[in-house]
Amino acid sequence: MRANSIKSYLVLFLTGAIASLALTDSAQAQRRFGSPRSNQPLITDTEPSSPEPPRTPSEANGNPNDIELTPDNPNPQEPSLDQQSLTVTVYRPDLFCENLIPRTEQVSPEQPTEGAIGHVLKDWAQGEFRLAGYRVQRDDLTGVVNVDLRIAPDAPRRWSSLSTCEQFSLLGSLRSTLLENPELDIAGVEFTSQGRPLVF
């Protein structure tokens, strides 16, 4: 009798493990189940000790380069059906957080950089570590793009809590997506949070 109950628990456990491996969204799977790599964060804790105060609508609309991030709005300016779109390659990590897998996405030709970034960040608009938005600034002289990422004020996790895998999933995916698309013409990428450099 006891052997049968152990077998049934074992079958349930194995079924759950196999189902978790079948998840197609590797970034979400890594956030849910953790990283097979070291959990020591490489990002220095650059954010202030207190969370960012909520922004008023006038502050949020103050800079035209600010882009609010929601799970259903990866593209700041989604190309319409009758509008021409630009194909970009977006990189996301595999399930084991070791390699980046390319996938093509359509973005608006008016904002191709923001559209490509939005496709990478759409998975990061929910969960305990949640991004509320981002700002893109390009130095036309050097071709270097600065991506300023904003954590949601009510998100319980901060930059220093990210595992190595989560850093790779977020920043590695962004870096490869921006540098590996020649049509974006980007020579380098820098990451900041509220203007403070993210070092990883």
pLDDT in tens, 36-90: 343 333 444 444 444 444 444 434 444 556 667 655 555 555 656 667 889 999 9
pLDDT in tens, 27-42: 444 444 444 343 333 4
Angle at 117 between CA 111 and CA 123, to 5 degrees: 135
pTM over 0.85: no
β-pairing, 188-193 vs 144-151, is parallel
pLDDT in tens, 117-129: 999 998 898 889 9
Residue 52 φ/ψ region, left for φ over 0, alpha for ψ in the -120 to 50 degree band, beta for the rest? beta
Least confident of 16-25, 104-113, 115-124, 157-166: 16-25
